Amino acid sequence: MEKIFLYKTITKSVAYDEEHWYIDNNPQQQNDGDGVAQFKEYATSEAFRLIANDISKYTSHLKNIAVLTAAGTSMENGAHGGKTRTELWQSYEEEISAISSVLTQNDGILKDKCQSIIESKNIEDFLSFTILYEKLNGEIKDDEGNSLRCKLEKKIADACKLPLDENNRHHQDFIRKLTARKPAEPRVQLYTTNYDTLFEQAAQRMNYTIIDGFSFSYPRLFNGSNFDHDVVYRERTRIKNEESFVPNVIQLFKLHGSIDWEKKDGKIYQKETTDHPCIIYPASEKYESSYEQPYFEMMSHLQSTLRKEGTLLIVAGFGFQDKHIQNVIKEAALQNPNFHLLIVCFGMKNFAKDGEADKWEESGITHNLVPDFVAEDGTVTQNVTIIFSKFKAFVENYPYNSSYEVDNPNNYEAIRP
């Protein structure tokens, strides 16, 4: 068993294997009879202790706090959790089979490529391949003349209509812990590539105000200038500026759109329900789409924030597969000396030998899991901290600054210690 690293920076690490648990690769004290389960427990406790200290340090010294979340943060939502790549593929098998029957009609490179994608069960590659085929050969339709790709895309959107589970409190806890800071400091910026509305539902449960680029009037219409607005107490503005800002406000940027957005006559509206959500579907064209409005507006805000002096970016549940987002983060990590990147990642690896049934175990922090910030020899990029954790466990161990707690009768959810 190779070492499983749970925490890493350029100078520090926490890991365990079958024989010991380690801090900076040095075996630590243990009890007679301890095994791998105990070593993992010791290492996990130390990793979360270190990350809590890091968060306290960086949030007190860096005034700009930004968060980037992706699919991994929607998984632990009870019966309404987001699906893994394999689960998504299985959900769309009927549409995939119908489309692939057309793509594989003729022998040759086209058929081989399609079959290779099907074996990998990569929905993004499959959609990209389908779009390219249709550009050259025309739309693939069913017997009734309906677009099969549109049916597949509708299923993808429907799979993201997730109600916040009544036992799910980590989305609320995360928002509240993030925003427990000095009133005069810049608003926390939450960026997400998720189409679902779990963070919006969590904020609404706590009566938080969301600045998301849409007007506060109805119908809610998107305008990028709305991100420059804030909510203040007017009667306090002339007395003491830092006391004028209303608490419990967070900025939300949905980089790939949302299931409650609808585009009509060139304008973007926010609606409770829509059959045609304005989202960037998982295909290679999403890089091109990210340069269109409203997505370009949000990407511009992300890039601008990461270039600011004194910025902490927390990335959770993001697989670093989106190049347009990847490159912005890499640029900040390499070129902004007053920037720190904290990555929350989780992954599994198959260690079965040839002919054996699949055997999965937690991968720990590896180059393959975080290729842009962990070298093949395990070295971590400067100004980067990595914690191996699922989102819920990370939130539970995220430190809460009770000094800035706001008395709000609607904040009925208890903060976890």
Residues 272 and 145 in one domain: no
Query: Is the N-terminal amide bond of 219 cis, ω within 30° of 0?
Result: yes
185 domain residue, yes or no: yes
Edge-to-edge order in the sheet of strand 64-69: 26-27, 21-23, 13-16, 4-8, 384-388, 339-345, 311-316, 64-69, 189-192, 249-254, 209-211
pLDDT higher than 70, residue 255: yes
Give the per-residue pLDDT at 410.
Answer: 47
Domain boundary among 110, 140, 158: 158
Residues 199 and 277 in one domain: yes
Residues 174 and 141 in one domain: no
The encoded tokens of residue 153 equal: 């895309």
Residues 99 and 237 in one domain: no
Under the banding of pLDDT at 50, 70 and 90, the label for residue 417 is: very low
For the chain, how far is it from start to end, CA to CA, in angstroms? 33
Beta strands in 50-207 (DSSP E): 64-69, 189-192
Q: Which residues partner with 232 through β-bridges? A: 245
Give the per-residue pLDDT at 58.
Answer: 96
Looking up tokens 């959609």 gives 127
- Residue-wise pLDDT tens digits, 129-154: 888 888 888 999 988 888 999 999 89
Give the per-residue pLDDT at 302.
Answer: 96
What is the residue-averaged pLDDT of the chain? 89
- How many domains does the chain divide into? 2
411 domain residue, yes or no: no
320 domain residue, yes or no: yes
Contact 254, 298 (CB under 8 A): yes
Domain containing 108 equals 85-158
- Residue-wise pLDDT tens digits, 82-134: 887 778 888 888 888 999 888 888 767 878 888 888 888 888 888 888 888 88
Q: In angstroms, rounded to a whole number, what is the distance separating the alpha carbons of residues 203 and 250?
A: 9
CA nearest 295: which of 225, 228, 224, 201? 224
- Cα angle: 282, vertex 327, 190; to 5 degrees: 70
Query: Is the N-terminal amide bond of 282 cis, ω within 30° of 0?
Result: no
- Residue-wise pLDDT tens digits, 310-342: 999 999 999 888 888 999 999 999 999 999 999
Residues 69 and 54 in one domain: yes
220 domain residue, yes or no: yes
416 domain residue, yes or no: no
417 domain residue, yes or no: no
Residues 330 and 206 in one domain: yes
Domain boundary among 108, 133, 158: 158
Give the per-residue pLDDT at 416.
Answer: 43
pLDDT higher than 60, residue 411: no
Q: In angstroms, rounded to a whole number, what is the distance separating the alpha carbons of residues 45 and 135?
A: 53
412 domain residue, yes or no: no
- Cα angle: 300, vertex 241, 215; to 5 degrees: 45
Residues in contact with 210: Cβ distance below 8 Å, sequence separation at least 6, in sequence order = 200, 203, 249, 250, 251, 252
Residues 47 and 147 in one domain: no
Residues 202 and 341 in one domain: yes
Residues 42 and 145 in one domain: no
190 domain residue, yes or no: yes
Contact 23, 14 (CB under 8 A): yes
- Residue-wise pLDDT tens digits, 168-190: 999 999 999 999 998 889 999 99
Q: Which amino acid is at 163?
A: P
Domain boundary among 134, 158, 182: 158
Residues 70 and 119 in one domain: no
Beta strands in 17-172 (DSSP E): 21-23, 26-27, 64-69
Residues 225 and 247 in one domain: yes
Residues 329 and 265 in one domain: yes
CATH of residue 339's domain is: 3.40.50.1220
